[in-house]
Amino acid sequence: MQRINPICKLICIALLALGSGTQPVAAQNATSAKARDEQAIRSLIQQENEGKRVIKYTDEAIFVSGAYPRPAIGAKQVETMSREVSSKRSNESRSAETVRLVLSKSRDLAYEFGNFKLSFDDSDGKKINFAGSYLRVWRKVDGEWKVDAFFARPNRDVQ
């Protein structure tokens, strides 16, 4: 039986000890990059909740909401239809609460599920308030997070 060189044995034990419990540098960098991407999306959501209109849409975005007579497709149509709806409202207030935000391993797509509250005065001055839920798909385009799909609907009261 051949004996293992004590120095070789010591090096193997040291390498095993160093390797266990630590992530490789590439994995640590990927984890921190993913955390930065998630924080970037959460920051956009927070700014929207503060009334700043910072969320942008991709040129291929799909926006489905009961406020629109049909789905809006593309950033330009989303903006046009949004302006039309907003022109019929005053004192609009909206907020979103993210329930789940998941980023893809490739960090170029994410989805967000959440709940929202919306209130506004309609064109007749009537106060409208309701809560709903949404699913938003984010896509990273040229380093910037934009919405690629958005589906929202009011929640029904359970009777």
* Residue 1 domain flag: no
- Higher confidence at residue 42 or residue 51? 42
Of the ranges 16-25, 84-93, 121-130, which is most confident?
A: 121-130
Tell me the pLDDT tens digit for each residue of 119-151. Answer: 999 888 899 999 999 999 999 999 999 999 999
* Residue 147 domain flag: yes
Q: What is the DSSP letter of 44?
A: H
- Any idea which residue has 């004192």 for tokens? 91
- Give Cα 88 distance to the centre of its chain: 28
Q: What is the pTM of this model?
A: 0.76
Q: Mean of the per-residue pLDDT values for the chain?
A: 85
Any idea what the CATH number is for the domain that residue 44 is in?
A: 3.10.450.50
* Residue 14 domain flag: yes
Residues 6+ positions from 59 with CB-CB distance below 8 Å: 74, 75, 76
Number of compact structural domains in the chain: 1
Q: What percent of the chain has pLDDT over 90?
A: 58
* Residue 148 domain flag: yes
Domain limits for position 58: 6-154
